[in-house]
Amino acid sequence: MYSTIDLVYLSFVYDVWDNVGQSNLSCESLLHKKPPYEDINLFFTIYRGLRGGTVEYNCKSILDKFGISYISEGPEREVKAISSINEAREGDLTMCYYEKEKGVSMISQSSAGIILCAKSMQGRVHPKDARQELFFLDNPRYAFVKIMNQMYNKKNTAGISARSVISETAQIGSGCYIGDYTVIGDDCIIGDNTMIGTRVSLQNCHCGNNSIIQSGVTIGEDGFSFERNADGELERFPHIRGVKLGDNVEVGANTNIARGSLSDTIIGNGTKIADMVHIGHHALIGKHCQIAAATAIGGKTKIGDMCWTGLNSTLKHEINVGNNVIVGCGAVVIYDVTDGDIVAGVPAKSIKDKVTTPSNKLFLMAGQN
């Protein structure tokens, strides 16, 4: 007769009102006043929080939900929070992707209730007491991210700030959040469930669904392109195209993405761009790339899928970078890079033959910090 969330709500109301003489109200009259909580996990959080309790999470259930295989050792338990491996306490979840002696040292010294460990650590480390559980996984960092997102899945309230400025010709999708003092120009298109922070400027831009644009970002202004006349004076090259961002793209604070001059600047689905990055006019960046902070990418440069650029790296204009490429921190790339290569230095050269880390782990490590 009643849904699960209705029963939780009724339990909460009777529990709170029992001491004030109102618990004799009918279920129907109470449900009529029920707030519109559609997320059962959110309601449990509020319910238990108001009762003075703390929400506990079962890591096995979350891992099973996402089909992540694991081997566990120690008594099954739940956790209340997440912390670093050095600061974690009995009620906390943490992780350690280090292996060999460094992994042994960090895991054995941690007081965390649950530690996600690399599978290679099985047999080398054990729970320090009856209050600790260890999980051994192929990629503990990935599993940690999935659990953390489940525990701290805080969604911004959809809405548009009254202090934002949005063109009448702009199209804003459903479920979007737009922060204070953000400006969205003529004919921009913002996809569904996209979060845009404060003081963002979007011009000549199409943004996909489920994206995040952090505060201070500028997208769609003219790029840096000029021609000299006979007297050596500079004349601006017109920019008449725009910027197209795919779905699930993230753009970090104070990043600039220039509009295209004759072709669009394109950012592929799932690509994540850190803070203070510059991307030049009609650059093309593929899918699921990671562009670290302060990377500078010149105009007309093409980057393939699943690439990673290190902190403060520079990619010259009009070069081609293949798929699954790693660019080292501070590298200056002035030549084309082939698929799967690893380059570093000034000017950047291939160091792939000098890297001893297995290729299946190296690319995962590139995104870790």
Q: Which of 116, 119, 114, 85 is nearest to 99 (CA)?
A: 119
d(CA 233, CA 231): 6
Tokens of 355: 């890297």
Q: Which of 206, 239, 278, 281 is catalytic?
A: 281
82 DSSP β-pair partners: 93
Q: Would strands 272-273 and 290-291 be described as parallel, antiparallel, or unpaired?
A: parallel
Alpha-carbon distance of 88 to 131, in angstroms, equals: 13
30 phi, psi to nearest 5 deg: -70, -45
Contact 197, 217 (CB under 8 A): yes
Using a 10 angstrom Cβ sphere, with 0-12 exposed, 13-18 middle and 19 or more buried, the burial of residue 309 is buried
- CA pair distance 258, 248, nearest whole angstrom: 20
The span from the CA of 20 to the CA of 276, in Å, is 56
Asked if 239 is an active-site residue, the reply is no
DSSP 4-67: HHHHHHHHHHHHHHGGGT-TTS-HHHHHHT------HHHHHHHHHHHTT----B-HHHHHHHTT
3-state SS track over 331-348: CEECCCECCCCEEECCCC
In order, the DSSP letters of 206-257 are EE-SS-EE-TT-EES---S-EEE-TTS-EEEPP----EEE-TT-EE-TT-EE
What are the residue numbers of the active site? 281
